[in-house]
Amino acid sequence: MATFYDEMAVMALEMITEFGQPVTISKTEPGEYDPETGGEAPGATVEQTAPGILLDFTGLEFQNNSLIRQGDKKLKIAAQGLAWVPGLLDKVVAQGRTWSIVPPLKEVNPAGTPILYELQVRS
């Protein structure tokens, strides 16, 4: 069964690449311990670019989920080819704006094969 879902992951990547736009996902890696200061050195920012589709939430979604605020967007990103899975502390740059990822972070993952990540983002 994994072969079928692998094909679906590739198809999701192709469709989002064709109809979406490139988005940049960034996260800050923690710094190393610095014995001179007795604390942690500043972390480094790591980025990856992925194809994504930025959508508005529907009225029904607003009714069913009180965590959605006015101006929030839904971002769908293909899982295929990502260097790392997006996390709640990561930032996303799409359409020239920087967005924070807020819960819930959904993963479409049938039979253990990640196909798509659906993020709620807020600027």
Range of the domain at 97: 2-122
The reported pLDDT for the residue numbered 63 is 77
pLDDT tens sequence for the chain (123 residues): 568 888 988 998 899 999 999 999 999 988 888 888 888 888 889 999 999 999 998 888 877 777 888 899 999 999 999 999 999 999 999 999 999 999 989 999 988 889 999 999 999
Adjacent-strand bridge partners of 75: 54, 119
What per-residue confidence (pLDDT) applies to 2? Answer: 61
**Tell me, what's the pLDDT at 34?**
81
Residues 6+ away with beta carbon under 8 Å from 46? 26, 27, 28, 29
Distances, alpha carbon 44 to alpha carbons 30, 38, 62, 70, 102, in Å: 7, 19, 36, 32, 22
Task: For residue 12, give the CATH number of its domain.
Answer: 2.40.10.270
DSSP category for residue 98: E
Paired tokens of 75 = 């971002």
Tally of domains within the chain: 1
Q: Token pair of 9, please?
A: 């992951």
| β-pair partners for 98 | 93
Query: Among positive and negative, which fits the CA dihedral 112, 117, 118, 119?
Result: positive
pLDDT of residue 33: 83
